[in-house]
Chains A and B, each alone.
Chain A
Amino acid sequence: MSSEAIARPSMEPELILPSRGRVGMFSLIAAESAIFTIFVVAYIFYIGKSVSGPTPKDVLELPIFATVCLLSSSLTIHLAVKALRDAKIRAFGTWWFITILLGGIFLAGTGREWQRMIFEKGLTISTNLFGTTYYSLVGLHAFHVTVGLIILTLGMIFTLLGYVKQEHSERAEVFSLYWHFVDVVWVIVFTVVYIIGR
């Protein structure tokens, strides 16, 4: 700034501040990442440390279909947000609904897997270390999927009642950040639990 200026300097570049929703969501995602990191570290630390069976090799099967569903739901929610930004409410509703469907399929897949493991293989959270770490890590992720599905369903209800307008696209986008995060976490959980840990 010139030291000659006496009046207040005019025309400073205007301050452009980021959106509150995005910053808030990114902060929440950072906090969630830290929580997941601790659970993942515990999982990796305890791989192969169980003193009794069953082991991951005995009971785990790759949940390929559920994984494909969850990962593609990232794409569908992206398309939904894009549609809303272009004020195409009907397309938004359709993509949003498909997202719920894909998320639901994933959750059902986890449920079936757990049912099979608990009732057929006899692995519960208290059976051994593998059970403890497996159910808590996958369960923590499934909990986040559930929360996401509840919010998605609320959004769907509002869409069907006709409350959702183009101006809500930023909110939808902020939520989609959460949903993408849940997907990314699944990639890590999948790698750690089903590939490294098996």
Chain B
Amino acid sequence: MASESIPLNIIDHATQPIGERLHAWVVTVDHKKLGILYILYGLVFFMIGGIEATIIRIQLIVPRNNFVSPEVFNRMFTMHGTTMIFFVVMPILFGFGTYLVPLMIGTRDMAFPRLNALSFWLTAFGGLLLYYSFVGGTGLYGAGNAPDVGWFAYAPLTARVFSPGHSTDFWTMGLLVSGFGSIGTAINFITTILCMRCPGMTLGKMPLLSWMYMVMAWMVILAISPLTAAQLMLAIDRYLGGHFFDVQAGGSAVLWMHFFWIFGHPEVYILVIPAFAFVSEIVPVFSRKPIFGYPVMVAATVCIGLVSMSVWAHHMFTVGMNTYGNSFFVMTTMIVGVPTGIKIFNWLGTMWGGKIQFKSPMLFCTAFLFQFLIAGLTGIMLGTAPFNWQLSASYFVIAHFHYMIVGGIVFAIFGAFYYWFPKMTGRMFTETLAKWHFWLFVIGFHLTFDFMHIPGILGMPRRIYTYEPGRGWETWNLIVTIGVFFQIAAVLVFVFNIMRSLIKGQPAESDPWDAWTLEWSVSSPPPEYNFGKIPTVLSRRPLWDLKHPEDPDWKFE
């Protein structure tokens, strides 16, 4: 294995003029640069989506607030949801995958490097298209600019009559374009993982991250495509006078719901499976134990992938399906909890008896475990049709899925960020600041999203721009909004930490965490060609074998 002494490959980019350096980033097909571009792009939109969330929460801090108008409020929650799902979490996850998968499976690039670049730029321009609506969305005097139809854009609200102007079209086109990008990336992941593994790396010896990204890529292919089709139909309705979702001409508004959630629910798993992947890499390293139950972990991931394709209508219990429909989707929703539970036990089993080091990546992953569990439990509650009838479209639902997305996915992403930051940049971050980030974010997260469940149970519906005093919602909303400011402080610490570490951070070694997968065998940051000599692996932990020739893993696998 070419690992020990590849010299730190510092091409002196600093001597190049700034224009050429930037140009190199624009025309790059290198998976590492594209991965970093994805992540940076996601972080920029994370700030924008965060500002939108803050506006929403400031408006709701006290009853009868006039911070923004109802119209602006509608635009804010629509743009917040769309941005966070499509232009924050997905690009960041794709970015980590693009960066890590080729390194982890021991190859020099993705299977189709140019498709990789095309996919990134499609995603990037999709986001710009969506945000251009703030400037160009006013197709008609008096019509709104940014999309205000909610992130799932139910028909018939999206019909020309109810959404004049171009704002909804920007939403449609932005998601369509970035959807093509996502499909391209997914094809690339599958092909890379199936066709580009280094000698010795059978499917059973792949790092779990690669397995999970492959399952995620299959889900992107099977779930984003229906969204693409539905967006095409919506565009046909709005531009060519079609009647797909036009109830007066015999069309069906419920069909849009089905099509949207056939995408929408697997999408949740598309987002969370990479989060599982990060946790499955980080937890073993910081517990100093190999992952507990590797084959079961793979099987559970594939199970989640399969079952989650058939749970979509649990978003639609209040629409009025028949009892068979309701029972079926309640059942599948309960079933999908089983493989997810297995995963939690496996991570706990990995930690059990390990020498746990609570460094910042591990802290985030530990918090992930707790919060993801609670999010799963409220998910089981909401997956029960009668309970759902009571609480659907209330703040309880908002609290539930933010618990999943922020408490689960975003925490795992921050963990991954700290874990691979030294590899990607060649610099160490400041651990103290990372801990500040963690604790501020934990406090903010729990203030906001724990207490958000309660106004939901008390009957506060989602998407209302204000509420009357005296319903018992005031205190809860106040606490929720206060939590937001803790989260903002945490994110500012995070940004400061990145900036500072990039400029003044200690140079990182090639393997600062004493980890076991192939990306740590090359320098930090890795040379452009990744591996001077393509490695050969014998077990799931090739670096362990290298460091412990007297007790290698391949003896026992």
Report if A and B associate in a common complex: yes
Contacting residue for A8 out of B191, B241, B538, CB 8 A: B538
Residue of A14, A27, A37 near B187 (CB, 8 A) is A27
The verdict on A23 contacting B221 (CB below 8 Å), with A39-B229, A46-B250, A51-B250 known, is no
* Chain A neighbourhood of B557, CB < 8 A: 1
Interface residues of B in 223-279 (CB under 8 A from A): 223-226, 228-230, 232-233, 236-237, 240-244, 249-252, 255, 259, 262
Interface residues as binary, B291-308 with A (CB distance below 8 Å gives 1, 0 otherwise): 000000000000000000
In the complex, which residues of chain A have a beta carbon less than 8 angstroms from the beta carbon of B10? none
Q: Please name all residues of chain A whose beta carbon is closer than 8 Å to the beta carbon of B186 when the two chains form the complex.
A: 27, 31
Contact status A5-B183, CB under 8 Å: no
Determine the distance from Cα of A129 to Cα of B243 in the docked complex, in whole angstroms. 6
B345 at the interface (CB under 8 A from A): no
CB pair B255–A42 under 8 Å, yes or no, is yes
Binary interface encoding of chain A residues 102-128 relative to chain B, with 1 for a CB under 8 A from any of its CBs, else 0? 000000000000000000000001101
Q: Given A15-B197, A23-B191, A23-B194, do A125 and B555 touch, yes or no (CB 8 Å)?
A: no
CA distance A36 to B243 in the complex (A): 18
Asked if residues A133 and B241 are in contact (CB atoms below 8 Å), the reply is no
B162-205 CB mask vs A (1 if < 8 Å, else 0) is 00000000000000000000010011101100111101111000
Decide if A61 is an interface residue (CB 8 Å cutoff). Answer: no
Q: How far is the CA of A175 from the CA of B554 in the complex (A)?
A: 41
Q: Complex Cα distance A32/B232, Å?
A: 13
Alpha-carbon distance A45/B244, docked complex (angstroms): 10
- Evaluate whether A27 and B226 lie within 8 angstroms (CB atoms) in the complex, with A125-B236, A129-B251 already known: no
Interface residue B222 (Cβ < 8 Å from any Cβ of A): yes
Output the least CB separation between A23 and chain B (Å).
Answer: 5
Q: How far is the CB of B396 from chain A (nearest CB, A)?
A: 31
Q: At the interface, yes or no: A62 with Cβ under 8 Å from chain B?
A: no
- B242 x A45 contact (CB < 8 A): no
- Min C-beta distance of B241 to chain A, whole Å: 3
B112 at interface, CB cutoff 8 A:
yes
Mark out the residues of chain A between 60 and 81 whose CB falls within 8 Å of any chain B CB in the assembled complex: none
B141 at interface by CB-CB < 8 Å: no
Would you give the shortest CB distance from A17 to chain B, in whole angstroms? Answer: 5
- Once the chains bind, are A23 and B226 in contact (CB under 8 Å)? no
Q: Among the listed A15, A30, A38, A45, which residue makes an inter-chain contact with B226, where contact means beta carbons less than 8 Å apart?
A: A38
Q: Is A24 a contact of B111 with CB atoms below 8 Å?
A: yes
Q: Closest CB-CB distance, B289 to chain A, in whole Å? A: 20
Query: How long is the Cα–Cα vector from A14 to B243 in the complex, in angstroms?
Result: 56
Report B-chain residues with C-beta under 8 Å of the C-beta of A39.
229, 233
CB–CB B236/A136 < 8 A:
yes
- B228: A residues at CB distance < 8 A: 35
Choose from B111, B197, B221, B244 the contact partner of A20 (Cβ within 8 Å): B111
Bound state CA distance, A1 and B553, in angstroms?
A: 11
Q: Which residues of chain B have C-beta atoms less than 8 A from A51's C-beta?
A: 249-250
Does B529 touch A at the CB level, under 8 Å?
Answer: no
B555 touches A20 (CB 8 A): no
Q: Does B324 contact A (CB under 8 A)?
A: no
- Residues facing B in A1-57 (CB within 8 A) are 1, 3, 5, 8-9, 12, 14-15, 17-20, 23-24, 27-28, 30-39, 42, 45-46, 49-52
Total inter-chain residue pairs, C-beta < 8 Å = 126
Q: Give the size range of B's interface with the partner.
A: 35 or more
Given contacts A23-B190, A23-B195, contact A128 B229 (CB under 8 A): no
Chain B residues within an 8 Å CB radius of A42: 233, 244, 255, 259
Q: Is the CB of B555 within 8 A of A1?
A: yes
Asked whether A34 lies within 8 Å of B225 as measured between CB atoms, the reply is yes
For B255, list chain A residues within 8 Å (CB).
Answer: 42, 45
Q: Which single member of A14, A33, A50, A126 contacts B250 (CB below 8 Å)?
A: A50
Nearest CB on B from A121, distance (A): 17
Is the beta-carbon distance between B250 and A125 smaller than 8 angstroms?
A: no
Q: Give A177 Cβ to nearest chain B Cβ, in Å.
A: 13
A31 lies within 8 A of B221 (CB): yes
Tell me whether B199 and A132 are in contact (CB under 8 A): no
> When chains A and B are docked, how far (Å) is the Cα of A9 from the Cα of B200?
11
- List residues of chain A with CB within 8 A of the CB of B237: 132
Contacts of B201 in A (CB 8 A): 15
Beyond contacts A31-B183, A32-B225: 13 other A-B pairs, Cβ-Cβ < 8 A, are A9-B538, A12-B200, A18-B194, A20-B191, A20-B195, A24-B190, A24-B191, A30-B222, A34-B223, A35-B228, A126-B241, A126-B243, A133-B244
14 residue pairs A–B, Cβ–Cβ below 8 Å:
A1-B554, A18-B195, A24-B112, A27-B191, A30-B218, A31-B187, A34-B221, A37-B226, A38-B226, A126-B242, A128-B250, A132-B251, A133-B244, A140-B232
Closest 5 pairs (CB-CB, A-B) = A126-B241, A34-B225, A38-B229, A132-B242, A27-B187
